[in-house]
Structures are given as C-alpha cells and as structure tokens.
Structure 1
Amino acid sequence: MFLTLLNGRGFVFNVDDYMELRSKHRIMGAPVGTANTKGWSPNQSTLPVELSKFETQLALDENIAKLVDKSQALTTPPTVEKLKEYKTDFESQLVCQKEALKTEKLRETERYIERILMGKRKKLLKQGKDEMANALTSQDVLKEVSDNFKFDRQNALVEVPCEHLKNHCSCKNSFRTCGEHKFPKISNFQRSLETGKVCDLG
C-alpha cells in the first residue's frame, strides 16, 4: 500500500488499505476527511486517515507501506493528458456523489414511507381522486422521489483525487530527520505491534 506524504505525516486515501492497517496491523490513525453525504462535522470524519509520524515510520520500518511524495508533481505544470485525467476523475466523483445522495434520499423515504403514503392518499382524496388514492403504492412514491431527485453541482463537495494507484512520483523508505537512531516511541509502537496491541495517535 502507499501512504501520501503531507506535512511530514502519512495519509491513507484508500479504504481497503485503511481497513488492512486497522485489522491486520492494528494501526488506527485518525480520520480527518469529510463525508460527502453528511457535510463537515467534528464527530463524523472519513478518509483520508492521518497517521502520526510514529505510525508512519512504523509502517515503513515494517515494510507495511511505501511513502509517496507528490511535492514535485504538484509544483510542476500539468500536461494536457494529466488535465484530461483530472477532469475525468472530477466528473466521476460528482456522479458518485450524486448517486450516494440519491440512495440516501431513497433510504430516508423508505423509513417514513407509511406516513408519506398516507399523506399523499389524503391529499388525493381531498382533490376527489379516489381511484388514484386507492391505487397509490409505496413503489409509486419511491419512483416519484427518484425521478424528481436533483443534484445541484454548485453545492457539491469537492474531493481532490490523491489516491496513488499509478504514476507514483517518488517513494521514500524513511523520512526521519533526526538521524538513524530509533525514536523511543517508535520502539514502543513496535513492541505493541508484536504483542497484538492497538497502535494509535496517543
């Protein structure tokens, strides 16, 4: 797996990599991203996951991950091909975000489908449309919600594609700046890893 180097720390942008870190290597990190269906919240965070310097170094020392530095690529003007690739990624993210919000909307509608159905039937009865009221089903309501769903791109959450699946700029095996000696806390992390304990930012 690959860790993205940002401000001297490793970040995980791939959910499968993060689950492997948690379940297999017991390295927790801290989710610092924003869920695209919830908006920003201090209590609900998602990818990317920020690893401490000690967690990052441990992942490198144990050959669990490689560190990727994008600083050179980010300071170089992108090529036409890269711009096209980024645009495609951006459009794909918006489509996925639209589908996620639509699915969430339908899920919420299903939770209160009986009340919604009752309200719509009462409205039709008041309008004198008895046959339509009697024929109305929950599937009709869900179809109406699905057909009328609109996604305003102006309110979309922008996600920067930072997951390194290809075209890695550079990989570093270590990012220590204090010589080759072991940090005391790194040794503690390694002992915790060997004894099956959880490693986190604390």
Structure 2
Amino acid sequence: MSRIVVRYMHGRGLIFDAEDYLKLRYEHRIVGNLIGIPVSHPRNVNQQGMPAALTSCELKFLLDRQIIQLVDTNGALQRVPSDEEVHTYFLMVERQKSELHMPVIEKRLEAFRKHLPKIIEGKRKKLLKAGVKEEDIHLDAEQLVGEERARIMQDKFDAMVQIPLKYPLSIGELKESSLELSAEESVKYRVFQSLWHRGGFITTGDAFGCDFLLYPGDPMYFHASHMVHVMQGGMCQKLDAKYLIRVCRLSVVVNKLCILAYIDERTNEVHFETLEWQGNVDNKGDNF
C-alpha cells in the first residue's frame, strides 16, 4: 500500500491533496485542521478549506502505523524552475484559460442562434437596400454561425487564473523528514494513542482550553462530548481545588464531560478519570 505524502513545512505537516485528506478522515479517523480558504466560498470567513495541517500527535501516530510519508519539500520548491517546467506551467495556464473561454463562447453563440432568423432577415433587407437582387441573395445559417464563432474567438474575456493547491509539476526525489517529540508532546501522544484505540474522533482542544476534544462520530456531524486534560506530572501532580472547579465548570458551560488523563509511572499505562460537576444547593455559601 502506497503511503500518503505529507509535506513538513515550517514545523507542521500539511496535506494539499483532498483525496488523501478524506482518506485519513474516513478510514483512519484523523481530522487535522483545515487552514486554507474554500474554493467555492473564497470570501466566507466561517469556513476553511485545504490545505489540512496535522498536529504532532497525529503525525506521530500515522508515522508509527506507516500510513504517511513525511517529506521536506522546502528546498525543492524554493529552487529556480527549469525552462521545461516554465513551459509546462505556461501550457497549463493557457489550457485553463481556454477551458474558461469555451463556456463564454457557447453562451454567446446560443444567444446568436436564438436571434438568427431576425439576423438573417436584417441582412437580407440590408442587401436589398444596397441594390442586390432577391435571387442573388444566399444567406446560409451555418455559415453565419461559423463567422460569429470566429469573431468571438478573437475577443478577449476577463478570466480568473486558477492557482493550483497541489503542486502540479514534478518535484523530483522526495527527501524524508523525521519527527521528534518533546517530553510534553510524548505524554500527549501516549494519551492520544490510547484515546484513538477506544474509538471516536479526536481533535485539538485549544478553542475550549483543553488538550483534546472527543467526538462520538465525525466532527462534521457531531458535537464534542468530552474535554480531555493531560496531566503532565502523572500521579504525582497535585491538583488544587481551584483548578478542579475551573475545568469542571468549564465543561458544564460547554455541555461536555471533563476527563483527566495521566500515565501511571508504576505500570506505564494511560489512565482516565471522569469529573462531573454537581451543584449543591445547600452549600451555596461555601468558600473555596
């Protein structure tokens, strides 16, 4: 099975091919983060499009399972293109312009054919007025359409030149890049790995003040059900009341369950503790 190519640029793994991204999302439950502008809605700030950026945990997970190939293309993309590559790109742009030009031509010809009887009658009257005899007038509809097509082909139209998201030319031999995780990222990766094997979808939780968000299904169709906070200190990490109140109340406000994840140093296993805020009406006056 061929591995999906992920380009490592500026410290992030980026996917520019939509089919590769959908394969990761639907077959491997890896969501990533769309950071581009959607082609269909370029001015919509509420939607994102390709490319997709993968977190360090997602990259490490996919590399360990040999699903992706992490490559560094910075050097190849920054070099000066050869004359052959420039010519290939020029032909591609001209082909795109021609493809955009043809629908406009067909639309103009359709309008011309719609009024063709009136056009023929107008030309006949003009020739009669110029002194041409009725029997000498021969107007062919197809010939007029052909002349109109030739005239329209010479006209210049405004066209939007597409900038390809996926690099259209050959990059050459790909240089594989390695991924090194920090100590903090390694702990988060262990938690991510354990959560993935339990099912569901996982995304980064930066927007909700946590490390991960858990979804029962694709985030396109489901809201997150759990907020996961990774305890870097493991079982030895002390948790004060203010911290527990903060994470619990935050989960209540956004209608999610709060989970504390940590690694047990004795067994080297990942454990999860679920916290649920329970309001106590009788102790409203308690101070923490």
TM-score w.r.t. the length of structure 2 is 0.44
- Which consecutive residues of structure 1, in runs of 5 or more, have no partner in the other structure? 103-149
Q: Conserved in 2, the CA contact under 8 Å of 1:27 and 1:198? A: yes
% identical equivalent positions? 27
Higher Rg of the two aligned structures: 2
Aligned residues: 151
Partner residue, 1:175: 179
Matched, 1:45 2:48: yes
> In 2, Cα distance between the equivalents of 1:165 and 1:198?
34
> In 2, Cα distance between the equivalents of 1:185 and 1:167?
35
Which amino acid counterpart does residue 179 of structure 2 have in structure 1? Answer: F
Cα deviation code 1:4-39 (max 9, x no counterpart): 112111111112211111111111011122222321
Q: Which has the higher helix share?
A: 1
Shift of the 177–92 alpha-carbon distance from structure 1 to 2, 3 Å rule, reads farther
Q: Conserved in 2, the CA contact under 8 Å of 1:89 and 1:161? A: no
> In 2, Cα distance between the equivalents of 1:158 and 1:74?
15
Partner residue, 2:199: 196
> In 1, Cα distance between the equivalents of 2:38 and 2:30?
22
- Cα offset, 1:168, TM superposition: 4.2
Shift of the 22–94 alpha-carbon distance from structure 1 to 2, 3 Å rule, reads farther
> In 2, Cα distance between the equivalents of 1:29 and 1:93?
31
Partner residue, 1:24: 27
The alignment yields a C-alpha RMSD, in angstroms, of 3.3
Matched, 1:87 2:93: no
Matched, 1:13 2:13: no
- Which consecutive residues of structure 2, in runs of 5 or more, have no partner in the other structure? 104-155, 206-288
Which amino acid counterpart does residue 43 of structure 1 have in structure 2? Answer: N
- Cα offset, 1:182, TM superposition: 6.7
Return the structure number with greater relative CO, CA threshold 8 A, min gap 6.
Answer: 1
Q: Conserved in 1, the CA contact under 8 Å of 2:7 and 2:13? A: yes
Cα deviation code 1:59-78 (max 9, x no counterpart): 21221100121111123221
> In 2, Cα distance between the equivalents of 1:194 and 1:151?
55
Q: Report the more deviating stretch, 182-191 or 17-26.
A: 182-191
Q: Which has the higher strand share?
A: 2
> In 1, Cα distance between the equivalents of 2:13 and 2:200?
21
Which amino acid counterpart does residue 84 of structure 1 have in structure 2? Answer: H
Which amino acid counterpart does residue 163 of structure 2 have in structure 1? Answer: V
> In 1, Cα distance between the equivalents of 2:168 and 2:11?
17
Cα deviation code 1:113-133 (max 9, x no counterpart): xxxxxxxxxxxxxxxxxxxxx
Which amino acid counterpart does residue 8 of structure 2 have in structure 1? Answer: L
- Cα offset, 1:195, TM superposition: 1.9
> In 1, Cα distance between the equivalents of 2:194 and 2:55?
17
Which amino acid counterpart does residue 40 of structure 1 have in structure 2? Answer: R
> In 2, Cα distance between the equivalents of 1:54 and 1:17?
18
Partner residue, 2:279: none
Shift of the 191–161 alpha-carbon distance from structure 1 to 2, 3 Å rule, reads same
Partner residue, 1:54: 57
Cα deviation code 1:103-162 (max 9, x no counterpart): xxxxxxxxxxxxxxxxxxxxxxxxxxxxxxxxxxxxxxxxxxxxxxx9733x55533433
